[in-house]
Amino acid sequence: MEELVFTQQCLSKLVKIRREMEKEFGYNYRLSSNNHLVDLLRAAAYSPDEEIQQCFRDFLKGLTKQQLKKITELGVSLPAGFAINT
């Protein structure tokens, strides 16, 4: 899998998502692993927790169209308003 590269701002949002997911579900996601990162994003996309959903949307706002396309190709669902035109 190609390594995912994000800005510092996006990384700080990822850390916040990870913290919220760990508090809510107790699973430890490693951001240094692409597989864990993608699993974290997939779980955040479907989380019923409003705080996690807000963190996820904040993360998505910082991504480029190419990054949005890449994460959707990896199976991450985007909420309404973030759909990309291919």
pLDDT digits (tens, 9 = 90+) for 31-86: 888 888 999 999 999 999 999 999 999 999 999 999 999 999 999 999 888 777 64
Question: What's the predicted TM-score (pTM) here?
Answer: 0.89
Any domain includes 3: no
Question: Is the distance from CB of 31 to CB of 18 less than 8 angstroms?
Answer: yes
Higher per-residue pLDDT: 1 or 62: 62
| Residue range(s) defining the domain that contains residue 32 | 12-73
Any domain includes 27: yes
Any domain includes 83: no
Q: What pLDDT shows up at residue 3?
A: 76
Q: What's the number of domains the chain is made of?
A: 1
Residue 36: phi and psi, rounded to 5, are -65, -40
Q: What angle do CA 71, 3, 37 make, to 5 degrees?
A: 55
Any domain includes 58: yes
Mean pLDDT of the 4-21 span: 93
